[in-house]
Amino acid sequence: MTRRWLPVAVAAAALAAVPWLGSETLVQYGINAILLATLAQGWNIIGGFTGYPSFGNSVFYGLGTYGTAIAMAQYHLPFGVGLAVGAVLGAACAVVFGLPILRLRGPYFAIATLGLSAVMSAIIANVEIAGKNIGLILPLFRGDLLFYELSLGLLVLATATVAWVSRSRFGAGLVAIRENEDAAQVMGIDTTRWKVMALTLSAVFSALAGGIHAYWITFIDPASAFDSTLNVKMVIMTVFGGPGTVLGPVVGAFLLSAISEVLASNVSTVAGAFYGLVIVLAVVFIPRGLMDVSSGFRRMGWRYFADNVRRHRL
């Protein structure tokens, strides 16, 4: 087992050294990519393992953002406290709304979570203490190193959690729910409780990522905090990398971020279109994610891609 984790540990150490080895721009992109990877991992728990495709993780992210921002900007509390407030808000939301919404299946669950995100954004835009639609300004902190290492730490924590989930009874239960929820229930798994737990875990990571992002970027408003395209990005990155795997979301997030940032900084005007094209091609040719490509390639070589199409077309 140590052999498998060694390359991962080396990679993590290399990432941690980036602020000293790489440029400032790289640190910027790094923070962004790492936060996205954390979000993807969070989504992985509820979407990848449990099979409930949430389009509302942006709610938890947004609540984390606002929890931290309100604590710091309105009450002048320290960053750590702010993060904790955000995490608690996210978790509470997951429990309160998770119970009714997790009764829905498949696309209806997705739509309900999307609706939840939109509602929350609209509510916050009317709340005085949250600065309404104008948003909030946080104190300025000149220390990207802190944000970088903190984000990396969060990602490592999230990945470790997913690794634990993948080996635990809890995780096996989640997979059982994904494959056949009714059968799982019959077998005695308390599906409601476990689904809510998965959602809450997912929410905590999303909220913490949101809190870090808020302090890093110093200005938040409802549109950017509850951004639904962010949610779509999380989903795409996880699916691209491999849902239900441990490293898939991280790989997917880093790769897609890199592509998107390189495009945005060099060919910036066509960046958007290329990104869309990459997504379309990925869904057609690697629908089970990048992690599956290596094993699929070993089995079938180049025919793997054509086979994917054959299997999923009409």
Interacting residues with other proteins (CB under 8 A): 23-25, 28-29, 32, 47, 53, 100-101, 103-108, 110-112, 114-116, 118-119, 121-123, 125-126, 132-135, 137, 140, 142, 217-219, 221, 223-224, 232, 235-236, 239, 261, 264-265, 267-273, 275-280, 283-284, 287, 309, 311-314
Which CB atom, from 112 or from 253, has the smaller least distance to other proteins? 112
Which CB atom, from 10 or from 270, has the smaller least distance to other proteins? 270
Residue 275 CB contacts under 8 Å (≥ 6 apart), including other chains: 259, 260, 263
Which CB atom, from 77 or from 232, has the smaller least distance to other proteins? 232
Please state the closest distance from residue 282 (CB atom) to other proteins, in A: 8
Query: What six digits make up the tokens of 183?
Result: 């059968």
SS3 219: strand
Please state the closest distance from residue 9 (CB atom) to other proteins, in A: 28
Query: What six digits make up the tokens of 177?
Result: 């729910």
Please state the closest distance from residue 16 (CB atom) to other proteins, in A: 20
Please state the closest distance from residue 271 (CB atom) to other proteins, in A: 7
Please state the closest distance from residue 184 (CB atom) to other proteins, in A: 16
Which CB atom, from 2 or from 268, has the smaller least distance to other proteins? 268
Please state the closest distance from residue 276 (CB atom) to other proteins, in A: 3
Which CB atom, from 88 or from 132, has the smaller least distance to other proteins? 132
**Phi and psi, residue 136, nearest 5°:** -130, 150
Please state the closest distance from residue 155 (CB atom) to other proteins, in A: 18
Please state the closest distance from residue 138 (CB atom) to other proteins, in A: 9
Using CA atoms, how far residue 273 sits from 186, 252, 260, 277, in Å, is 47, 19, 10, 6
Residue 47 DSSP one-character state: I
Distance CA(40)–CA(34), nearest Å, equals 10
Distance CA(162)–CA(171), nearest Å, equals 9
- Tokens 């900007």: give the residue: 73
> Among candidates 143, 132, 10, 113, which has minimal Cα distance to 53?
113
Which CB atom, from 163 or from 255, has the smaller least distance to other proteins? 255
Which CB atom, from 84 or from 222, has the smaller least distance to other proteins? 222
- Can you give the three-state secondary structure of 162-231, one letter per residue? HHHHHHCHHHHHHHHHHHCHHHHHHCCCCHHHHHHHHHHHHHHHHHHHHHHHHHHHCEECHHHHCCHHHH
Distance CA(274)–CA(255), nearest Å, equals 14
Distance CA(245)–CA(57), nearest Å, equals 19
Using CA atoms, how far residue 310 sits from 62, 92, 290, 298, 304, in Å, is 40, 44, 18, 18, 10
Please state the closest distance from residue 262 (CB atom) to other proteins, in A: 11
Which CB atom, from 77 or from 278, has the smaller least distance to other proteins? 278
Which CB atom, from 35 or from 84, has the smaller least distance to other proteins? 35
Distance CA(83)–CA(97), nearest Å, equals 21
